[in-house]
């Protein structure tokens, strides 16, 4: 019995050690809601994107533009300011908006930011290296009619082990020529976290 006891103890320790280090990873559906820490997560981004897409496509600004000009509006995505207390990547939902615009076929989207600069650099490179028939021209870009901008704000209230977090995501579309705001949409998310 005396000799068996240390062996049993060692086996127990070994089993505990291996079970604690056994990491399990499984793929889950991207629509599944999993809340772990109470911070901003993929579900929040998805809900924001869904609501903003529904709002932006159903508001009268689109029909008004079509009626006035007879053409589809052209949109450029500007900056989204994150003034919240967390790291929130706005591109997750701005991309969803762009995707909805393009898929609908009712709105045109032009490239912005560093990607646009890269395209322009490539065009500049083509002026020196491509054949005359395939070289793309300067000054033929499509000018945007509207710019999409936004801001993310958050308010947190905590007491002992309880926490309430409120996020407000505001997106707005402005006419580049007249500065007129033609659409404002928002998504509000409130969470109660109990530790």
Partner 1 sequence: MKTITLTSLLFLFLPGFLLAQLKPDQNPRAQESYAKYRQQLENHEQSMGTTANLTYEAYDPILEKKRKRQDRREFRQELRLERARSRRYNNLYRPYYYDPYYRW
Q: Which residue has the tokens 């395209």?
A: 119
- Is the Cβ of residue 23 or residue 68 nearer to partner 1 in the bound state? 23
Q: Which of 6, 70, 105, 139 binds partner 1 (CB under 8 A)?
A: 139
Residue 53 neighbours by CB under 8 Å, 6+ apart: 96, 97, 100
By CB under 8 A, is residue 42 in contact with partner 1?
no
| Binding region for partner 1 (CB under 8 A) out of 6-14, 105-113, 135-143, 146-154 | 135-143
Helix 42-58 and helix 91-104, axial crossing angle in degrees, nearest 10: 40
Q: Which of 140, 157, 179, 194 binds partner 1 (CB under 8 A)?
A: 140
Q: Which of 63, 71, 81, 125 binds partner 1 (CB under 8 A)?
A: 125
Other Cβ atoms less than 10 A from the Cβ of 157: the count is: 9
Q: Which of 10, 122, 130, 162 binds partner 1 (CB under 8 A)?
A: 122
Residue 96 burial class via C-beta count within 10 angstroms: exposed 0-12, middle 13-18, buried 19 and up:
middle
- Is the Cβ of residue 41 or residue 168 nearer to partner 1 in the bound state? 41
Q: Which of 33, 54, 64, 127 binds partner 1 (CB under 8 A)?
A: 127
Other Cβ atoms less than 10 A from the Cβ of 111: the count is: 16
| Binding region for partner 1 (CB under 8 A) out of 5-13, 27-35, 104-112, 133-141 | 133-141
| CA 188 vs CA 45, 49, 90, 124, 170: distances in Å | 11, 12, 15, 44, 9
Q: Which of 138, 158, 162, 181 binds partner 1 (CB under 8 A)?
A: 138
By CB under 8 A, is residue 54 in contact with partner 1?
no
| Binding region for partner 1 (CB under 8 A) out of 2-10, 72-80, 98-106, 112-120 | 112-120
DSSP 8-state assignment for residue 70 = S
Instruction: Confirm if 157 and 192 have CB atoms less than 8 A apart.
Output: no
Give residues in contact with partner 1 (CB under 8 A). 37, 39, 87, 117-118, 120-125, 127, 137-141
């Amino acid at each position: 019995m005396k000799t068996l006891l240390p062996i049993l103890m060692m086996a127990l320790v070994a089993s505990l050690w291996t079970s604690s280090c056994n990491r399990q990873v499984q793929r889950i559906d991207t629509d599944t809601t999993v809340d772990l820490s109470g911070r901003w997560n993929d579900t929040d981004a998805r809900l924001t994107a869904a609501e903003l897409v529904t709002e932006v496509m159903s508001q009268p600004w689109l029909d008004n533009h079509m009626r006035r000009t007879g053409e589809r509006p052209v949109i450029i995505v500007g900056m989204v300011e994150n003034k919240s207390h967390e790291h929130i990547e706005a591109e997750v939902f701005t991309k969803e908006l762009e995707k909805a615009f393009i898929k609908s076929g009712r709105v045109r989207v032009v490239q912005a930011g560093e990607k646009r600069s890269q395209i322009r650099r490539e065009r500049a490179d083509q002026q020196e290296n491509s054949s005359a028939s395939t070289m793309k021209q300067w000054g033929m870009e499509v000018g945007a009619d509207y710019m999409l901008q936004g801001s993310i704000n958050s308010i947190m209230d905590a007491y002992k082990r309880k926490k309430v977090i409120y996020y407000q995501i505001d997106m707005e579309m402005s006419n580049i020529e007249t500065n007129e705001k033609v659409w404002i949409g928002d998504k509000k998310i409130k969470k109660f976290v109990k530790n």
